[in-house]
């Protein structure tokens, strides 16, 4: 997910997307531990998406007060 796609989401959708992405990362970690992960770069890209989501959430918190 790109930053421009994340910025257009509402606060509720941002939180839902963050929860969904965290669950996805946990599943990827389990799959990597059991050698069922075909692309080992996938967890890294999911971590970056989580960082982008958290950045936008934090920016909005700072703007509110």
Domain containing 30 equals: 3-64
Give residue 37's pLDDT: 92
Contact partners, residue 14, CB within 8 Å, separation at least 6:
6, 53, 56, 57, 60
Which pLDDT value is given to residue 65?
Answer: 80
CA–CA dist 18, 37 (Å, integer):
22
- Predicted confidence at residue 52, as pLDDT, reads 97
| CATH number for position 39 | 1.10.287.310
For the record, the structure tokens of 62 come out as 């700072």
Total Cβ atoms within 10 A of residue 17: 20
Total domain count for the chain? 1
Tell me the average pLDDT across 13-40. Answer: 96
How confident is the model over 41-53, as pLDDT tens digits? 999 999 999 999 9
Where does the pLDDT of residue 8 fall: very low under 50, low under 70, confident under 90, or very high at 90 and above? very high
């Amino acid at each position: 997910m790109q930053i421009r796609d994340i910025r257009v989401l509402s606060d509720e959708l941002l939180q839902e997307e963050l929860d969904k992405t965290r669950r996805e990362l946990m599943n990827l970690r389990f799959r990597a531990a059991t050698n069922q992960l075909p692309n080992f770069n996938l967890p890294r890209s999911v971590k970056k998406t989580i960082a982008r989501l958290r950045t936008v959430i934090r920016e909005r918190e700072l703007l509110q007060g």
